[in-house]
Copies of this chain bind each other. A is one copy, B any other.
Amino acid sequence: MNVAIMGFGVVGSGVAELITKNSDSIMKNSNVSLKVTRILDIRDFPGNPFEGLMTKSFEDILNDDTIDIVVETMGGVKPAFDFVSSCLKKGKHVVSSNKELVATKGYELLQLARENNVNFLFEASVGGGIPIIRPISRCLAGNQISEIAGILNGTSNFILTKMIVDGMSFEQALKLAQDKGYAEKDPTADVEGFDALRKICILASLAFGNHVYPDGIFTEGISKITLDDVAYAESCDSVIKLIAKTKKLQNGKILVMVSPCFIKNDSMLSGVNGVFNACLVRGDATGDVLMYGKGAGKLATASAVVGDVIDCAVNDDKRKFFGWNEPKENMLADYLESETALYIRAEKADKEKINSAFGNIDFLTREGAAEDEIAFITPVMKEGELRNLLDSIGLNVISCIRVADY
């Protein structure tokens, strides 16, 4: 089957490379013959082995009836959304690695795919080369998923790992990540949690069945984490990780949030270091299942795209009921409604008041702490109630980090 690629950047060129390089094993394993026949990009690629396939006109793909499957690796919503919509309407399968597109327009595109009896697949949009979307939608289909917690941004995980393992400051670790090409010049999307947010919105939509848009979801990044917090975490056998999570609360509402968390050293998530990603899925039948691997990278991400392309080719004549429904009103929980413990670091605090508010607290210690610094972990309560209690005792809070229970 003929495949077109829109966007010849890192991932798109990896897809072209992989389909070409592994065509024999793809034929052997899946009995489909794949060929890249057209590549859309506004740039020129003189001397590139795929140069002869390049076009700058989207119509060359849209109107070419020999193209069955279109790969969208352009990124961004404009013009990707229009291009993908047009391809689906023309009866072409579309495979995307574009988390922004899926997080903001997934429902609309899934609807279009259903109406036109084609596939819209996006395994690569979350966790790069790690199989996450398909295991959740298929292998765990007999389960009721109650919670998903992921380390879904490799850049911020690299920075935190450098802080924890090598004692670098946030600024030093960010600089190193930029030097290594893991972080962009403007690192906001990575370090402030917005990239992880898009991914957890996709997983929440998939797990709970209704589109969760990223707008308005509580998101906290890692830029305020200090080595003092890292030391306090270590003092209670924990590490700090940026966790993107979604959970069905007892009132039926869906909690979605991104924030740094204390993770116990004996949690499988604690050992996920460097640019690696991991995703923990909690099901009523399976218990906890973790999927772990490289969350980014040219060939890792491309391999997820190619897996989807193969799926489209094998199931060319149908793809029923993958995806999710329209968003529901009032389906999302306020994060203040969810139960958690909090790690608190404060200045000039009155231990008596803290003990009277929370019961007897074991205070944390670290080397080099100022005389009047205190740190502790609260009991588990609704976060809103915890914050009210903290306010009521007039603590001068410097750091506040959630404590995870997985």
Binding site for B on A (CB under 8 A): 14, 18-19, 22, 25-26, 28-31, 123, 129-131, 134-135, 137-144, 209, 266, 268, 270-273, 283-294, 297, 299-300, 302-307, 309-311, 314-315, 320-321
Check if A129 sits within 8 Å of B306, measured CB to CB.
Answer: no
**A286 to chain B: which residues have CB within 8 Å?**
129-130, 293-294, 299-300, 303-304
**A209 to chain B: which residues have CB within 8 Å?**
28-29
Nearest-CB distance from A252 to chain B (Å)?
Answer: 13
Which of B130, B271, B288, B302 has a CB less than 8 Å from the CB of A289? B130
**A134 to chain B: which residues have CB within 8 Å?**
134-135, 138-139
15 chain-A/chain-B pairs, Cβ below 8 angstroms: A22-B284, A29-B137, A129-B289, A134-B134, A138-B311, A139-B307, A140-B307, A142-B302, A270-B271, A271-B271, A285-B300, A286-B294, A287-B300, A288-B293, A315-B315
**A299 to chain B: which residues have CB within 8 Å?**
284-286
Check if B141 sits within 8 Å of A30, measured CB to CB.
Answer: yes
Check if B288 sits within 8 Å of A142, measured CB to CB.
Answer: no
Nearest-CB distance from A162 to chain B (Å)?
Answer: 15
Check if A131 sits within 8 Å of B141, measured CB to CB.
Answer: no
Check if A19 sits within 8 Å of B131, measured CB to CB.
Answer: no
**A302 to chain B: which residues have CB within 8 Å?**
142, 285
Whether A285 contacts B303 in the complex (CB less than 8 A), given A26-B141, A31-B320, comes out as yes
Oligomeric state, in copies:
2
Check if B29 sits within 8 Å of A141, measured CB to CB.
Answer: yes
Nearest-CB distance from A291 to chain B (Å)?
Answer: 6
- Of A19, A123, A289, A299, most buried by chain B (CB within 10 Å of CB) is A289
**A26 to chain B: which residues have CB within 8 Å?**
141-142
Nearest-CB distance from A57 to chain B (Å)?
Answer: 28
Q: CA A321 – CA B314 in complex, angstroms?
A: 9
Check if A291 sits within 8 Å of B294, measured CB to CB.
Answer: no
Check if B283 sits within 8 Å of A288, measured CB to CB.
Answer: no
Whether A307 contacts B141 in the complex (CB less than 8 A), given A18-B285, A321-B314, comes out as yes
A123-B139, A285-B306, A290-B292 known; 12 new pairs, CB 8 Å cut-off, are: A18-B142, A19-B142, A129-B285, A130-B289, A134-B135, A134-B138, A138-B307, A139-B304, A142-B305, A142-B310, A286-B304, A314-B321
Q: CA A311 – CA B284 in complex, angstroms?
A: 19
Look across to chain B and name the residue whose beta carbon is closest to the beta carbon of A267: B271
Q: CA A309 – CA B309 in complex, angstroms?
A: 24
Which of B131, B140, B271, B303 has a CB less than 8 Å from the CB of A268? B271
Check if A268 sits within 8 Å of B292, measured CB to CB.
Answer: yes
